[in-house]
Chain A
Amino acid sequence: MRTAFINTLLEAAKQDERIMLVVGDLGFGVTASFANELPGQYVNAGIAEQNMIGLAVGLALSGKIVFTYSIANFPTIRCLEQIRNDVCYHNANVKIVSIGGGLSYGSLGMSHHAVEDLAIMRILPHMTVIAPGDPVETALATQAAIKHPGPVYLRLGRANEPVVHQKTFNFQIGRAIPVCTGKDATLIVTGGLLQEAVLAAQVLKTNGIEVGVISMPTLKPLDVEAVLAVSQRTDRIFTLEEHSILGGLGGAVAEILLESGIRLKCFKRLGLKDAYTTVAGEQTYLKEVHGLDSQSIARVIEAVVKQGEK
């Protein structure tokens, strides 16, 4: 995802000198191309994220489209008050990019796990929150963020994520992307777990259970229409995110569904428990630990569907 992001940003920045990249001394092997080709549009703010956000606001209020770039929680929670008071309150044209969403930096430990960021960014007025599901969504989301006036949080994974979308589609901020349909249940997924969701649906299909998958890259503004439409088609809805089950996609979808008055047979949030990860492990391993791999997801959905059939 980070490659798709930086390539897209670099190409756009060559055409538009208002685009700037401000990094917090991170991006080894990623941001050098931008720094070398467009030094006048690049700044390394050092390990000083609060100042990074402040200066991004100063640049943005002077007419620039500013992308701040760092990893995990450094560009978000560490400088949250600057994002709240300076970026969001001033509706500044600052795009905050975090690499390493969820458990991407597995063995580096909890300091490098971004698992509360979506909930926290989502509650800030003026903030748009996007967690693309694959490199295709990442490139399109980057282009959309450039065009969108105002604050955006772009939450990415790391490198070498598989391309999930094989067909072309129209990407719009605030619009869900249907991946496949299924009558028994719907799985709404945000971010890098898109691949696991699609695999889970394939596993379930071989077991005779049809699950629709909807990619929801934009958490805010949430595609309310798509959520309500899905609830008309299937009465079992699951949400899936590499994030705490509190306040992220699951919370956002639950808010819509409960207020709509729609009665479902089942609504379940799949995500990280309200607890810290205290063991080392690769992202793949940690996803299994937390039940966020395709097999675990399939098992949960299958159990719910079969329970309903009894």
Chain B
Amino acid sequence: MQSQELTAFARHLRLRVLNMVSQAKSSHIGGNYSIAELIAVLYGTILRVDPSNPHWKNRDRFILSKGHACAILYAALAEKGFFSPDLLDTFYQNGSLLIGHVSHHVPGVEISTGSLGHGLPIGVGMALDGKRSHSPYRVFVLMSDGECDTGTVWEAALFAHHHHLDNLTVIVDYNKIQSLDRVQKTLDLEPFVDKWRAFGWQVHEIDGHDIEEIQSALLQLPIINGFPSCIIAHTIKGKGVSFMENEVLWHYRSPQGEEFDAALQELQSI
């Protein structure tokens, strides 16, 4: 996909998510929107996956460790052809496969998450196996910034460096807002880049909404051979809908009525 197509893909994903969370009256639209471009680039050009064979042995492994942002992943997988887009209408509904935290029972989803801090340790195990078995696949773990409060992230970070897992890439959605408040006011992560470097990772900071910056970063992996890579993506929670952007409220609030209409109009007018 070209840049313009990827931009359109991200916009399409946002529209899908708007419909899904509004219909479901579910939370987490802000954290879905902050990763729209990241997901669009990953599934548009980066990940080597085969929708007709989701368990293909040499597929790249993508773990959405911030499992509450599942709506946009489901939308991307449907768009890629892992399953029918019709299924998206069942998000959150009684009996649906599309649970409100990402589910591995959905075709194309590698790992179920929901409790934060679980994705990276599993990714580390997959990357270790890839190294030891000389497999060509790569492992990507997309995490939230608030998730970096958990100790397991840093247990896994130690391990990945010690075992030279350069087939492993962490992408942090650094939107600087967590559940109840801003990251800085909750448990400040700064100096964030230095922390990852101190744990032995190679770090690249990007604008997480700039398609070309994302592409360029993800096309040049590992950043340095022999080291795990960390892409810190500076993002805006709720990106794409002006009244949601950078607002703590939209971690939980679900757009209904006039808010839905306004969001729809804004996304369609881009």
Contact = CB atoms under 8 A, between A and B. Distances in A.
A203 B115 CA distance: 52
B75 interface: no
Indicate the member of B114, B127, B129, B130 with the most A CB atoms within 10 Å.
B129
A50 to B, nearest CB: 5
A55 interface: yes
Contacts of B127: 58
A57 B156 CA distance: 13
Contact of A85 (B112, B132, B156): B112
Nearest to B101: A85
A47 to B, nearest CB: 9
Contacts of B129: 58-59, 62-64
Interface in B10-37: none
Contacts of A81: 115, 118
A99 to B, nearest CB: 22
B124 A85 contact: no
Interface stretch (A3-11, A38-46, A177-185, A193-201): A38-46
What is the interface residue range for chain B against chain A? 20 to 34
A58 B126 contact: yes
A63 B55 CA distance: 12
A89 B67 CA distance: 15
Interface string A62-81: 11100000000000000001
B264 to A, nearest CB: 35
A160 interface: no
Given A45-B159, A55-B124, A40 B132 contact: yes
Contacts of B117: 50
Contact of A55 (B115, B125, B133, B151): B125
A59 B135 CA distance: 13
What is the interface residue range for chain A against chain B? 20 to 34
Contact of A54 (B110, B114, B130, B156): B156
Contacts of A50: 117, 121, 151-152, 155
B155 A59 contact: no
A126 interface: no
Given A50-B151, A53-B121, A86-B118, A59 B158 contact: no
Given A40-B132, A58-B129, A86 B158 contact: no
A51 interface: yes
B122 interface: yes
Q: Which 8 pairs of residues, A with B, have the shortest CB-CB distance?
A: A58-B125, A54-B121, A55-B125, A51-B155, A48-B155, A62-B129, A58-B126, A58-B122
21 contacts: A46-B159, A48-B159, A50-B121, A50-B152, A50-B155, A51-B159, A54-B121, A54-B156, A55-B128, A57-B122, A58-B127, A59-B129, A60-B125, A61-B122, A64-B129, A82-B118, A85-B113, A85-B114, A86-B121, A89-B112, A90-B112
Given A50-B151, A64-B129, 5 more contacts: A54-B120, A55-B159, A58-B126, A85-B112, A86-B122
